[in-house]
Structure 1
């Protein structure tokens, strides 16, 4: 891409609409991208894959942010989520490149955000 950043086209504001994520196809894409050994795609193909993963990572981050905000202030999971969200914001602000490495980095980020989301949404065991 020639721009320094890519914008996800979301004219209806669905990313922030708290819709459930369509997780299965994106997890399949993440798995496939992370399994690459020596892919031979055109730079534009890598850019498109990275763009897809970027948009989905932003959606996951919005979900993580929403769940973290709902936690009590003394819940350490919220503080950890904020650290991860800051790192995600930094990584998502980096320009896309037409490389396998860029696509794999976006896949790793989406995977890490899903891990954090799962930890925020799993029930906390009751104290004995």
Structure 2
């Protein structure tokens, strides 16, 4: 057995770009979290759900970033995507606090990123 190992550095994110997002279960989680009225979970449970949503939001954001970067500069969808990405990054950088409100905020971020991702995968609007 060798004591050497290889560290994979995917600077351009090409490996990640080839992996499809596991969208359906995360959308179901977002839907469930957003309809909570007064859940009675332990703070650590809220933190685990928030961590799951945070990780997924970052993966969706990477896809949004990749698609937006490929758009021509004249396509306004790219500029809007950048705005959404900056807002999401700022909100995802906030510390987790183990509350339903924190989890719901993370769920809203995932939802807004998926909305933007869908807009970027639609055909470009026709210009008059």
Query: Fold match, TM over 0.5?
Result: yes
Question: Partner residue of 2:83?
Answer: 83
Instruction: Quote the offset at 1:124 in angstroms.
Output: 2.2
Q: Indicate the residue corresponding to 2:46 in structure 1.
A: 46
The runs of 5 or more residues in structure 1 that have no matched partner are 1-10
Structure with the greater relative contact order (CA < 8 A, sep ≥ 6): 1 or 2?
A: 1
- The residue number in structure 2 matching 1:32 is 32
Give the aligned partner of residue 7 of structure 1: none
State the distance in 1 between where 2:9 and 2:62 align. 12
CA deviation profile, 1:35-90 (whole Å, cap 9, x unmatched): 10010000000000000000000000000000000000100000000011110110
Distance 2:24 2:9 in 1: 22
The CA distance in 2 between the partners of 1:41 and 1:54, in whole Å, is 18
**Cα deviation, residue 125, structure 1:** 4.1
Distance 1:125 1:36 in 2: 37
* Equivalent position of 1:97 in the other structure: 97
TM-score, normalising length from structure 1? 0.86
Residue equivalent to 1:59: 59
Counterparts of 2:56 and 2:81 in 1: how far apart (Å)?
A: 17
Question: Number of paired residues?
Answer: 117
CA RMSD of aligned residues (A): 1.8
Q: What is the SS of the residue equivalent to 2:37? A: coil
The structure-2 alpha-carbon separation of the partners of 1:99 and 1:13, relative to structure 1 and needing over 3 Å to count, comes to farther
Return the alpha-carbon distance in structure 2 between the equivalents of residues 43 and 22 of structure 1. Answer: 26
**3-state secondary structure, aligned to 1:123:** coil
